Amino acid sequence: MLFREEYIRLSLELNLFFGRIAKEHSIFIETSFTGKDQNLAREADSLKVQFETLLSEAISLANGAVSQETLNAQEFITPHTLDAERVSQLYTWVPINSSLTQAEAGLAGNGGMVYSPALKQRVFMLNQKAVILTTALLNFKTRILNNVLACKLFTTNYPLLLDHIIREAKFYLKALNKLQNREDAGNARDLLEQEVFWNRIMAEHSFFIRGLLDPTENELISTANDLGEEFNKLTRKAIAATEQTALLPGVTAET
């Protein structure tokens, strides 16, 4: 059972992290369609705008309420985020609200803040909005993947990448629901589950980079491939650990 302070802090940190991921997923989904499917591009842009609104609310509530350690670890933005947004907007013409990134850069960590019942209620409502919006994004991603697999739709995104971002949306939803039920996600079972999940995600990130490189970039291709294989090894080790402890029976490399 989470206490009020933990519930507020963990909720805000989760929404700052995944709210940004969700809006960025919406952006690269939007840019993946041809002119034939601009209706889908507009749908993706609408989701992007809604996640920007969600992220804006999370930022306004998070100042002084999130841990300084998390801010120092640059879990929400990095020194490269703002430049990446500017370049992405320049080459895609997709509007990106970079003021959110600037606001996040100015966030302060918790230093004796009182976590009031009123703040808890506002965070609860933020989580509810995130559940509804992430469910809509998950359904949109799933519809796109199903149509791609049925050869009814073309996008520049790999089917595996679509499956990859579907799994991330499911992970976000699961974490939100745990928080809304005041469940502690810091137990051994959850930590091992997260280890398997994120190692696989990082392996796929590396292989996506490999697949997007020009065939002449042999050194970079090799580096990306090596990173992917290293994360695959870590995934297998994490799965073995879960099986040895019997905390996560039945976990496989596809989890």
What integer pLDDT is reported at residue 253 of this predicted model? 43
Is 162 within the bounds of a domain?
Answer: no
Strand partners for 109:
66
Q: How far apart are CA 176 and CA 32, in angstroms?
A: 28
pLDDT digits (tens, 9 = 90+) for 124-154: 999 999 999 999 999 999 999 999 999 999 9
Per-residue pLDDT band for 255 (boundaries 50, 70, 90) equals very low
Q: What total of structural domains would you count in the chain?
A: 2
Per-residue pLDDT band for 191 (boundaries 50, 70, 90) equals confident
Would you call 57 helix, strand, or coil by DSSP?
helix
Q: How far apart are CA 51 and CA 130, in angstroms?
A: 8
Residues 245 and 147 in one domain: no
Q: How far apart are CA 200 and CA 22, in angstroms?
A: 18
Residue 155 has, within 13 A of its CA and on its CB side, a CA count of 26
Is 234 within the bounds of a domain?
Answer: yes
Q: What's the whole-model pTM score?
A: 0.92
What integer pLDDT is reported at residue 254 of this predicted model? 45
Residues 23 and 126 in one domain: yes
Residues 18 and 137 in one domain: yes
Is 140 within the bounds of a domain?
Answer: yes
Task: Give the whole-number percent of the chain exceeding pLDDT 70.
Answer: 95
Residues 39 and 138 in one domain: yes
191: containing domain: 186-255
Residues 113 and 38 in one domain: yes
Is 164 within the bounds of a domain?
Answer: no
pLDDT digits (tens, 9 = 90+) for 74-91: 999 999 999 999 999 999
Last residue of a domain, one of 139, 157, 175: 157
Is 204 within the bounds of a domain?
Answer: yes
For the CA atoms of 107, 19, 70, 255, what is the dihedral angle to 10 degrees? Answer: 180
Residues 80 and 123 in one domain: yes
Beta carbons within 10 angstroms of residue 113's beta carbon: 16
Classify residue 109 by its DSSP letter: B
Residues 99 and 219 in one domain: no
Question: What's the distance, Cα to Cα, between the start and end of the chain in Å?
Answer: 26
Residues 124 and 239 in one domain: no
Residues 19 and 106 in one domain: yes
Strand partners for 66:
109
Residues 52 and 140 in one domain: yes
Average confidence score pLDDT of the chain = 93
Per-residue pLDDT band for 246 (boundaries 50, 70, 90) equals low
For the cut 70, the answer to whether the pLDDT of residue 247 exceeds it is no
Residues 152 and 192 in one domain: no
Residues 193 and 153 in one domain: no
For helices 188-212 and 218-245, angle between their N-to-C axes, nearest 10 degrees = 160
pLDDT digits (tens, 9 = 90+) for 32-44: 999 999 999 999 9
Is 167 within the bounds of a domain?
Answer: no
Is 173 within the bounds of a domain?
Answer: no
Is 17 within the bounds of a domain?
Answer: yes
For the cut 90, the answer to whether the pLDDT of residue 51 exceeds it is yes
Average pLDDT of 60-72? Answer: 95
Structure tokens at 187: 């137990």
Q: How far apart are CA 49 and CA 109, in angstroms?
A: 27
- Whether residue 43 contacts residue 140, with contact meaning beta carbons closer than 8 Å, is answered with yes
Closest CA to 70 of 95, 42, 104, 37: 104
Would you call 84 helix, strand, or coil by DSSP?
helix
